[in-house]
A and B are shown apart, each in its own frame.
Chain A
Amino acid sequence: MISTLANYLSYEFVQHALIAGTLSAILGAIVGYFVIIRNSGFAAHALAHIGFAGAAGAALVGLSPLAGMLILTAGSGVLMGQAGDKVNRSDLAIGMVLSMSLGLGVLFLSLHAGFAGQAKSILFGEIFGVSGEQIVIMTALSVVSLGGLAIFSRRLLFASLQPRLAEARGISLSEMSTGFMLVVAISVTLASQIVGVLLVFTLVVAPAGIAVRLFRTFWKGIAASVGLGVIVVWIGILLDCMTGYPATFWITALFFVIYILVEGWIRFVTKQDRS
C-alpha cells in the first residue's frame, strides 16, 4: 500500500492537487475562523455562488474562470462590506443575490455551447486539473490575502467579537467588513478551484467552525482549524487516488464525521458539567 501511495505521489497532477489543496485549506481555515465569529457563513457561501456567474461569464468571453471569478467575488465582497451589517445579516437579501448569480451563471453557460463539462468543474471543482501556472497564481493570492489579513486582523478580531465597543474606540466597522469581505472573496475563489463553488463551505467554514466549538483561545482555534483543514484535504486527495471516489466527497464526508463526533463530545461534556 505504501508503495502504491508513493507511486501516486510521483505523479505531477497529484502533487499539484496536494499543493493547491494545502494552500486553499490554510487560507480557508484562517479566513473561516473570522467568518464564523462574525456569523457571516451564509455571506461567504453566497460569494462563492456569485463566483459561479463570474467563472461562467469569463468562459464566455475567453478569460480564465479563475480571473472571472476573482473579479466578480472581489467586487461583490466590497459591495457587501459597504452595505454593512443589515444586509449581511439578512438571509433574504443574500439569498436573492445568491440565486440571481446562479441564474446568470446558467445563462452564460447556455450561451456557450457544449459547456456542460466546464459547468461541472466550476460547480464541483477539479482537484486534479490544477496546472503549474495556476499554482503560482494561487500561491500569490494566498500570500496577498494572508498578508493583508495579518495587517488588520487584530482590529478585525475586536470588531468581530464586540462591534459596539470597537466602534466606540474609533474603529470603522464598515472599513473592517469591506477589507474582510475582500479577503473572503479571494479565499472563496481559491477554495472553489479545489472543491467547486457549491462546496466552498467545507473548506472555508467547516474546519474553523469545528475549531471554534472546541478551543477557548484565538490562537489555539486558528492552529486547530488549519491543522484540521490541511489534514482532511490531504486524506481526501489520497483516498481519491486509492479508491477512485472523488476527493470532494471524501473531504466533505470526513468533515461531517468529525463535526458529528465533536458535537456529540461537547454534548457529553456539558452533561457531565451539569451533573
Chain B
Amino acid sequence: MTPALQIHDLSVTLGGNTILSGVNAEIGTGEFVGIFGPNGAGKTTLVRCIIGTLVPSRGSIEVLGLSPRQAARQIGYMPQGHGGFDATALSARALIEAACDGNAWGIPWTSEAARQEVDRVLEVTEAAHYAHRPFSVLSGGERQRVMLAQALLGSPRILVLDEPLASLDPKNQGLLIECVARVQKSTHTTVLFVAHDMNPLMNVMDRVMYLAGGGAALGKLDEVITSESLTKLYGTDIEVVRTQNRVFVVSAEGGVTESECAHHDHD
C-alpha cells in the first residue's frame, strides 16, 4: 500500500542557509504524527514542501505516491496564523464558502452542493452555531475550529496543520485536538500536526517527528524523545525530563530549549 507521505533525502536551502538536510521519513495512511522542534528548525519549511509551495533543493517528497502539486486536492491544509479580517464583517461561513471551489473560474457563486459541504465541515468541528457571525469577532478557539473546518473541505486524505494550537488556552487546545483525532479515527485520515508543545498531543499521537539541526527523527515518542536521540540530533547535550506523563526537553547547560517550556510558564 502506498504510504501517505514519503520523504527521501530532502534538503532545503533558503537564501544560503540550509534549513533541512537529508531528511528521510515514511508516514503510513491514517497515522497521527506530531511534528516538533525548536523555532527555526524547519517545521514550516517542511510543511511548505509537503503542500507543494516550496520546491526542495534536493531529494524528493511523494504524497500518496504523487508529487505534492498533483496531490494538492488530497491535502487539507491549515496555515499558521490568520488575520487581516479585523476591518471586515465577513462571516466565518463566507470565508469557508470562498475557499470551497476557490480554484474555479467565474464569479464566486456558491452552489447548493458547496453549501452542503460547508454545512458538513462546520458540523464536524462544531462551529456551525457561530459560523454566521463575523470572523473578526470570534474568539481564538472559535477561529481555529473554523479554519479546521475549512481544511476538511472535500474530505482530504491528509491533514497538514501548521501550529494550530498557537495562542490557544489549554481548554481550546483540547477541543481542537479532540476534533482532529475524531476525524482521523472516523475517516482514517493521515494527520501531520505541527506544534510547539508535545504534551497536549500525548494521547492522540501514533508517532512523533522531531526536527533539529537540519535533521529529523521519526518514531514512537519513547524512541525519539530520549536524551540520546535528541543529543544526536541537536549535536549538543540534551536531556529529556519526564514528570507525571509530561515531557520536557532541556539542554544540558541548564537552559530549557525553545521547544517546550516557554509555553508552560503561562499554564
Contacts and interface: CB of A to CB of B under 8 A. Distances in A.
Interface string B100-140: 01111111110000000000000000000000111001000
A216 B98 contact: no
Interface string A117-139: 00000000000000000000000
Interface stretch (A18-26, A166-174, A229-237): A166-174
Contacts of B91: 216-217
A143 interface: no
B89 interface: yes
Interface string A22-52: 0000000000000011010000000000000
A251 to B, nearest CB: 22
The contact size tier of chain B is: 35 or more
B87 interface: yes
A76 to B, nearest CB: 24
B189 interface: no
A221 B98 CA distance: 14
Nearest to A39: B84
A217 B98 CA distance: 10
Contacts of B175: none
A158 B103 contact: yes
A169 B72 contact: yes
Interface residues of A, number: 32
Given A158-B102, A162-B82, A168 B87 contact: no
Interface in A134-176: 150-155, 157-159, 161-162, 164-171
Given A39-B84, A162-B95, A153 B108 contact: yes
Contacts of A217: 90-91, 93-94
A164 B75 CA distance: 14
Interface stretch (A65-73, A207-215, A253-261): A207-215
Interface of A: 36-37, 39, 150-155, 157-159, 161-162, 164-171, 212-218, 221, 270, 273
